[in-house]
Amino acid sequence: MKKVLVTGGAGYIGSHACLVLLENNVEVVVLDNLCNSSLESIKRVEKITGKNISFYNADLMKPEDIEEVLQKEKNIETVIHFAALKAVGESVAEPLKYYENNISGTINLLNAMEQHKIQNIVFSSSATVYGNAKTVPVDETAPTGPTNPYGQTKLMMEQILTDCSKAKNLNVTLLRYFNPAGAHNSGLIGEDPEYPNNLLPFVQQVAAGIRPKVMVFGDDYETPDGSGVRDYIHVMDLAEAHYAAILKMSEVKIYNVGTGVGYSVLEMIEAFKRISKQDVPYEVGPRREGDVGILTAEAKLIKEELGWSAKRDLDEMIQDSWRWQSQNPKGFRA
Ligand code: NAD
Ligand code: UFG
């Protein structure tokens, strides 16, 4: 049986990935300092799967914490590295916090992996590394140019991992996620932000009456209805991409993880209204600084090389988000 260390495994994407790993009989060890998550997500994954996770409340900023985990947990084959800070706006206001946590945390992890001879790592990168893409859909060879410190940390970590791969024969898979959304269809785990920065969690909270209206950030982009277009990917599809990745590790590989299909903000609001049967009031406001009009993935490479492609459509994504929201109005805090 494979044994995988999941950093950030209590978070939104990490918890769904742990679920997929357990369902595929992988032994899961989670390292998370719970700075943006709750232990409840781990308990619920255990409840859904009927399997146990070895959980460590540990901080990547503290090398001694990582060492303790790796001392106790022998025979880890692969690390899936989700742990990071991810709020774009906060990264602009507090860049050092982001460079410190994301980059130093990754370096500490890589040092510990070298010490313990762990040779495989799958890394959570982001489509944000493409910045203002000149043409869409973007493929993995498109120029990079992040527009904020969070995106810079992702690109720098890609570079650090690439250098380590060359120097140390580390197997590295860099997954550039597009826009993760949705939840597991049990309604037991999902995204739990106190104040949502992303579109779908915000729409969800408006539909639930927690917030009065959605602010549409601009309707003057060069898109069919003028609002921003993104490639939304179901978090369970994304989680499954990680399982596909750990089965086929090699020297550095970069894959887009998206569907190739784009939806606009206004289309997302309409779809949410239709599926939740709730009103979703909105107002069109100015563009959000740093946003691009349209960003969608060319996702052929991951299909060709890892045999993975997204299986779930937009309706399923919204149904699952709404189930999670309706069953857990206070998220994991209830
Ligand atoms: P999340 O905040 O829900 O999960 C991240 C987890 O990492 C949290 O549980 C947090 O407590 C933990 N963590 C952060 N710093 C840590 C540290 N120093 N030590 C130990 N644990 C630490 O975020 P998510 O949405 O699940 O994102 C997971 C990864 O995917 C992140 O690297 C993120 O940058 C990346 N990503 C997310 C999106 C998105 O829209 N959600 C898009 C592209 C990439
Ligand atoms: N939007 C609104 N109103 C909101 C929130 C978002 O109109 O309240 C719009 C945005 O302008 C954009 C779209 O909805 O057009 C999606 O915005 P999100 O904030 O949900 O997602 P982004 O595409 O801006 O960013 C996301 C992640 C980043 C990641 C990036 C990769 O948040 O972490 O995708 O493309 F880096």
CA–CA separation, 264 and 179 (whole Å) = 12
Place 333 in a pLDDT band, splitting at 50, 70 and 90.
confident
DSSP-derived 3-state class of residue 219: coil
**Mind giving me the DSSP string for 304-320?**
HHH-------HHHHHHH
Residues with CB under 6 A from ligand 2: 86, 88, 126-128, 178-179, 197-199, 202, 214-217, 228, 230, 265, 288, 291, 295
The two tokens of residue 54 are 């070895």
Q: Indicate whether 290 pLDDT > 90.
A: no
Please answer whether residues 31 and 49 qualify as being in contact, where contact means their C-beta atoms are separated by less than 8 angstroms.
no
Ligand nearest to the CA of 11: 1
pLDDT beyond 90 at 1: no
Closest of 20, 5, 22, 1 to residue 308, by C-alpha: 20
Both tokens assigned to 94: 């507090």
- H-helix or E-strand containing 7? strand 3-7
Q: State the pLDDT at residue 134.
A: 86
pLDDT in tens, 57-88: 999 999 999 999 999 999 999 999 999 999 99
Distance CA 216, CA 199 (A): 9
- The residue nearest atom 6 of ligand 2, judged by CA position, is 199
State whether the beta carbon of 32 lies less than 6 angstroms from ligand 1: yes
Q: Dihedral of the CA atoms 290, 293, 297, 298 (nearest 10)?
A: -120
**Rounded to two decimals, what is the model's pTM?**
0.98
Question: How much distance in Å is there from the Cα of 38 to the middle of ligand 1?
Answer: 12
Is 15 in contact with 41 (CB distance < 8 Å)?
A: yes
> How many Cβ atoms from other residues are within 10 Å of residue 206's Cβ?
22
Q: One-letter amino acid identity for 85? A: L
State the Cα–Cα distance between residues 237 and 181, nearest whole angstrom.
10
Would you say the C-alpha torsion 260, 256, 179, 226 has a positive or negative sign? Answer: negative
Give the residue, by CA position, lying nearest to ligand 2 atom 24: 291
Q: What is the set of active-site residues?
A: 150
Nearest ligand, measured from the Cα of 131: 2
Task: State yes or no: cis peptide before 180, omega within 30 of 0.
Answer: no
Look at the block and give the residue holding tokens 């739990």. 192
With 0-12 / 13-18 / 19 or more C-beta atoms within 10 angstroms meaning exposed / middle / buried, residue 326 is middle
Q: Which atom of ligand 2 is nearest to the CA of 265?
A: 14
pLDDT in tens, 109-150: 999 999 999 999 999 999 999 998 989 999 999 999 999 999
Angle at 172 between CA 151 and CA 147, to 5 degrees: 10
Per-residue pLDDT for 334 more than 80? Answer: no
DSSP state of 61: T
Average pLDDT value over all residues in the chain: 97
Burial class, 161, CB count within 10 angstroms (exposed 0-12 / middle 13-18 / buried 19+): buried
Give 279 Cα–ligand 1 centroid separation in angstroms. 31
Which residue has the least CA distance to atom 44 on ligand 1? 126
* pLDDT digit string, tens, across residues 208-262: 999 999 999 999 999 999 999 999 999 999 999 999 999 999 999 999 999 999 9
What contacts 166, CB < 8 A, 6 or more positions away? Answer: 252
